[in-house]
Amino acid sequence: MSQPEWEGPSLEVDATAAAAALGCLRVSAWMRRIGLDSAWRFMPGPGVAFGLARVTLRGGEVEVEVGFAAEDLAVAAEDAEAVGELARQAVAAWRSREI
């Protein structure tokens, strides 16, 4: 009996995907320091298991969802300035819903 062929996105987690996951953790830690909770969803991209991350931010009565490319999050795995920039973008989206 043969295994069925997989026709969906790649299931391989490459170095970019692994770094992007670490970037998510670093961005989450930054946002937690200012009182925002975050929940992440990982979306496939063309030919990759992880091409986009969507984060739902919660603070007080406000909830908003923001998306980031895996490549940007991979940079944040090693670059504190990138972490700050992505977190500021997410917080700006959250604040726009707060008003």
CB 31 within 8 A of CB 88: no
pLDDT tens across 8-27, in order? 555 677 888 899 999 999 99
Name the 3-class secondary structure at 23. Answer: helix
Q: Which amino acid is at 45?
A: G
pLDDT tens across 36-65, in order? 999 999 998 888 888 999 999 999 889 999
DSSP structural state of residue 10: -
What is the pLDDT, as a whole number, of residue 4?
64
What is the pLDDT, as a whole number, of residue 91?
92
DSSP structural state of residue 62: E
- Helix or strand run (H / E) with residue 92: helix 80-98
Name the 3-class secondary structure at 7. Answer: coil
pLDDT of 2 over the 90 cut: no
